[in-house]
Amino acid sequence: MNAARTLHWLLLLPSLLLLALLLGLPLAAMLARSLEPNVLLSFTGPALDNYAYLLSRAYYLQVIWRTLRLAAETMLIAIPLGYAAAMLLQGLSGRAGNLAIMGLTFPILAGPLTVVLGWMALLADGGPFLGPLVEAGLIARPRLLGSEAGVVISLVQFVLPFAVLTLYTGLRQIQPPMHEAARSLGAGALSRFWHVTLPLSLPSVLSAGIITFSLAASSFISPHYLGGAGQLTLTTLVSQFIMATFNAELAAAAAGLLLLLMLGSVVALTAAIGRFIRP
């Protein structure tokens, strides 16, 4: 028994080493750097002055708040949309279902940049989406490019396939007799959803929540191209520190903050949804 356990660890060792090397090392280097003095702030490192600086300026707090808000909004829109799509997907037969899943994964294959460029064209004031409506006098010029709404629309689109696939896998794990049992006991469609489908899919709702929140919070392309300088988030802020002010230490601190905030959010999300997962 013990020998078998040792063997398991031995077999895991190469991949653990690789992970430590490829993920742990750069992360440690980044965190170490975030504790060092720089062109803007002089102190004797390692110390937390860079973090204190970022957390003491209203402007940066606004960026942090925007990052969390965008991620939360994206998650809150993507989960119900994804849930509905996953339920529809479940109703499709073999071939149609496979086609739908291929279609869903296409944006992931195409890469976010390609899709964001498309959104830039679509969301432009004179674009094919809004242009005709504006010209017809149906809506006022909405100015989606450079607005938070534009960023959220594109982020939702970006994270949606991940949400759908996660929720779909979760829904599929519920055995069909579960629904039939509920029906035979007199539960209508709404009751079945509320008492059977939803509670049994909560673990996958939690996973989808963590995935969509993390993807949205760490996304760079959407806020960069569709939000611009007026909608800075932690990721685009990091990029500004590196590309515009050449301050790698402050950039590292901002990235460190993002990492901490995401970890904190995952813990909070798990606690919030986990309460409802039984037994």
Partner 1 sequence: MPELVLSHVTRRFSGHTAVDDLSLTVRDGEFVCLLGPSGCGKTTTLRIIAGFERADAGSLTLDGADITALPPEKREIGVVFQSYALFPHKTVAENIGFGLKMRGRSRAEIATAVEQALALVRLDGLGGRYPRALSGGQQQRVALARALAIRPRLLLMDEPLSNLDAQLREEMRVEIRRIQHSLGITAVLVTHDQGEALAMADRVAVMSQGRLQQMAAPAEIYEAPATAFVGHFIGQVNVLEGRLEQVDGRTGLLALPGGLKLAGAGQGLAAGQAARAMVKQERIALTRAEPTGLPNRFPCRVVERTYLGGGIAYRCAAAGASLTALLPNHPLFERFAPGDAAWLGWTAADCTIFPG
Residues making contact with partner 1 (CB under 8 A): 175, 177-178, 180-188, 191, 195-196, 199-200, 277-279
User: Can you give the C-alpha Rg of the chain in angstroms?
Assistant: 23
Q: What is the DSSP track for 174-240?
A: S-HHHHHHHHHTT--HHHHIIIIIHHHHHHHHHHHHHHHHHHHHT--HHIIIIIGGGG--HHHHHHH
Task: Output 132 or 188, the one with its CB closest to partner 1.
Answer: 188
Task: Output 2 or 184, the one with its CB closest to partner 1.
Answer: 184
Contacts within 8 Å (CB) and 24+ apart, 194-197: 197/171
Residue 192: CB minimum distance to partner 1, A: 9
Residue 277: CB minimum distance to partner 1, A: 8
Q: At what angle do helices 58-91 and 234-243 cross, to 10 degrees?
A: 130
Residue 85: CB minimum distance to partner 1, A: 24
- Report which DSSP code applies to 22: I
Residue 176: CB minimum distance to partner 1, A: 9
Task: Output 67 or 197, the one with its CB closest to partner 1.
Answer: 197
Q: Count the Cβ atoms, other than its own, within 10 Å of residue 271.
A: 9
Q: Is the peptide bond before 279 cis (omega within 30 degrees of 0)?
A: yes
Task: Output 74 or 204, the one with its CB closest to partner 1.
Answer: 204
Contact 64, 257 (CB under 8 A): yes
Residue 187: CB minimum distance to partner 1, A: 5
What is the distance between the alpha carbons of residues 226 and 158, in angstroms, rounded to a whole number? 13
- What three-state secondary structure class fits 145? coil
Residue 278: CB minimum distance to partner 1, A: 5
Task: Output 186 or 230, the one with its CB closest to partner 1.
Answer: 186
Task: Output 31 or 187, the one with its CB closest to partner 1.
Answer: 187
